[in-house]
Amino acid sequence: MTLFWDRYYQQKQIQDVDLKANRAAHEIDSVAQDVAQLQQRVEKLSLGCQALWELLRDHTSLTEDDLVIKMTEIDLRDGKLDGEMGKQILTCPNCRRNSSSKRLACLYCGYALPKNHLFG
């Protein structure tokens, strides 16, 4: 009788592992789709940025140096030159508590926070 229960337990373990493997495979597929969509969005945003820059350059006296200087200035707003628009600390106009600029609403009172910039 012990052999029966040993086999049953072993089969149950195999089924559990198989189920976990199937879930992991599904999650990998889902993440791969998310990555592909993000890559498409990045490409589209890069294309839009390039088009906007070329329009500005061609219709104004701005130079590539002007663009690089402004990009560096914006990058340094969070105190780090890291190629990212980092988060800033905002004071909620409603409850006066500190909140991250990455949030749409105050964590404490739910008040809609003002956006510091258009693209973040």
Whether the Cβ atoms of residue 77 and residue 88 lie closer than 8 Å to each other = yes
Whether the Cβ atoms of residue 117 and residue 87 lie closer than 8 Å to each other = no
Please list the pLDDT of the chain residue by residue as tens digits (120 residues): 688 888 888 999 999 999 999 999 999 999 999 999 999 999 999 999 999 999 999 999 999 999 999 999 988 887 889 988 877 788 899 999 998 878 889 989 999 988 766 665
CB atoms within 10 A of CB 6: 10
- pLDDT value, residue 79: 82
- pLDDT value, residue 64: 97
